[in-house]
Amino acid sequence: MTAYHAPVEEMLFVMSEIGELESLGKLPGYEDATPDLVSAILDEAGKLATDVLDPINVSGDLEGCTLENGVVRTPAGFKEAYAQFIEAGWNSMPFDPEYGGQGLPWLVATGASEIWHGANMAFGLCPMLTGGAVELLSIHASQEIKDTYLEKMISGEWTGTMNLTEPQAGSDLARVRTKAVKEGDKYLISGQKIFITYGEQDFTENIVHLVLARTPDAPEGIKGISLFVVPKFIPNSDGSLGERNDLRCGSLEHKLGINASPTAVMLFGENDGAVGYLVGEENRGIEYMFTMMNNARLAVGLEGVAIAERAYQRARAFAEERVQGRDSAGSSKEPVAIIQHPDVRRMLLSMRAQTEAVRALAYWVAARLDIAHRHTNPATAKTAQAYVDLLTPVVKAWSTDIGVEVANTGIQVHGGMGFIEETGAAQHLRDARIAPIYEGTNGIQAIDLAGRKVAREGGETMMTLIAEMRSSIAAMGHAHERLSKAADELERTTKWISDTYAENPVTALAGAVPYLRLTGITVGGWLMVRMYEAANAKADENPLATQRRRASVSFYARHVLTQAGGLAESVMDGSSVIADTPPEAV
């Protein structure tokens, strides 16, 4: 079974050519993020991934987590790996130096996060959620809450969770029933939350739960939901841990994948009520939680990138070693490695090209986030934030769909051995399958893109992006016919979505999923071509890397971008079939 190796050279290339790393290093506060430093960071991250996280990935999957007398035990090696992780400062990379963060760009933290998830997705979920909680509290919490919690959460000494889902309220958060009753300067929380990743664990002494709940007089629906900090142990004024709060893990879910991460049913306030502290103002909890959810959606999209990379590495190594069948060209009568067979090469090229495209998109959006946060030109920052808002659902949904597709193809490359757990290929598919579901299903992401991000603003930001792509294509000096056609289809369907939504939102949203995929493959194709041009300009420096880049882009253009026309037809013509079919006829 081959070990995971972080694709550092590829990551640095994308950061440089797509993420514009050198330009980011000139933004206020990012001056230390030089290419040499970033290279050293990714190298060290790769070592931790290969030496510590990857070796416990399979064993963690087999062992899983246990709950005994209210105590969760993670698999062997996980607690020790987490201790190494926070001791080296990995948890603090993009956060405020005022509370112990390193203040590095989100683009750099994105690269490191890909490495954690590629080596061990179950492990990577813990710091991922803590990071989202840190960002939320940094923006919306009172100074007192920040001073109490941020330093220990940024260091990783305490972890954070997101408590949204209830048995009757999955994606429909308007149905949340957890109660919050004010008592002095605090609230008493009571209710049940399910699917809480790392809701209980043995990594840290304290866990900071962010919990959605309703106050007694709150309005109905999502407008009546508030957000609370509910710690496992209530901190004393000096920062030490005080009494145990009235909350516990009731059970752990038995899952298809990510078995080494505890997914908890959390019970709050079974006795006197769990002590919680209001974040911001009452009845604005959904608004605040979306800060964490959008952070998590970008991070989950990155999980799709990471799993795709890992599945590709494993499949390619197997294809080089597995001897089966004769050379199709007839040049040898001896059995050959299966990578010699055209269809295996087709599968591997498909895996690699799509992985490179989703990585490029995720990194490009991460760089826009840095620009939005730090650029001194308000107009530039505003445009960057508009792109982040527009493409967050695309990063989440398209990347995780590709993660599942690539992991599935990886099993096919292995043949019968891929169906056997011992090769490790099956775990990648099992782990990847959750990513299109949590943090808002991919169907919800598509509706968000088509409805909230495109139709409600008349497609303005999407059209701006399409214009930028067209300008870039023209400047390249090549026809890039397939990319231009894909951009045409994206423009056509964007206008259709905007026009149709105003009169018939059901029909417009029925085409949302193919519209999101069309957006992904087009923007991804644009970024792939940009990388192709950059590689060609430096072909003499690394001929093999350039050859591989050319192969990826050529495959992507002929096998992926060519889907644009069919997807556009599905959006504009096929959506009526869905909208017009009554539920009883499905």
Q: Which residue has the higher pLDDT, 556 or 478?
A: 556
Q: What is the pLDDT of residues 67-109, one digit of tens each?
A: 998 899 999 999 999 999 999 999 999 999 999 999 999 999 9
Q: Which helix (H) or strand (E) holds 82?
A: helix 78-87
Cα 378 to Cα 381: distance, rounded to the nearest angstrom: 5
Cα 81 to Cα 60: distance, rounded to the nearest angstrom: 12
pLDDT given at position 130: 97
pLDDT given at position 542: 85
Q: Give the total residue count for the chain.
A: 586
Q: Which two tokens stand for residue 33?
A: 């993020």
Contact call for residues 427 and 471 (beta carbons, < 8 A):
no
pLDDT value at 478 more than 60: no
pLDDT value at 401 more than 90: yes
Sign of CA dihedral 470, 111, 264, 141: negative
Q: Which of 17, 20, 200, 439 is labelled catalytic?
A: 439
**Rounded percentage of the chain residues whose pLDDT exceeds 70:** 99
pLDDT value at 476 more than 80: no
Q: What is the pLDDT of residues 147-164, one digit of tens each?
A: 999 999 999 999 999 999
What mean pLDDT comes out for the span 268-278? 97
pLDDT given at position 312: 98
Q: Which two tokens stand for residue 418?
A: 């891929």
Beta bridge mates, 68: 71
- Mean pLDDT score of the chain, rounded to an integer? 95
| Residue matched to tokens 């930001």 | 461
pLDDT value at 479 more than 60: no
Which is it for strands 206-214 and 323-326: parallel, antiparallel or unpaired? unpaired
How many helices and strands (H and E) does the chain possess? Answer: 20, 14
pLDDT given at position 4: 97
The backbone region for 573, taken as left when phi is positive above 0, alpha when psi lies in -120 to 50, beta otherwise, is alpha
Backbone φ, ψ for residue 100 (5° rounding): 95, 5
Cα 388 to Cα 367: distance, rounded to the nearest angstrom: 9
Q: What is the pLDDT of residues 183-203, one digit of tens each?
A: 999 999 999 999 999 999 999
Q: Residue 439 catalytic?
A: yes
pLDDT given at position 291: 85
The pLDDT confidence band at residue 359, using thresholds 50, 70 and 90, is very high
pLDDT given at position 210: 97
What mean pLDDT comes out for the span 543-549? 90
The pLDDT confidence band at residue 270, using thresholds 50, 70 and 90, is very high
pLDDT value at 475 more than 70: no
Contact call for residues 80 and 42 (beta carbons, < 8 A):
no
Q: Which two tokens stand for residue 269?
A: 């306030």
Q: Which of 396, 388, 392, 397 is nearest to 370 (CA)?
A: 388
pLDDT value at 274 more than 90: yes
The pLDDT confidence band at residue 126, using thresholds 50, 70 and 90, is very high
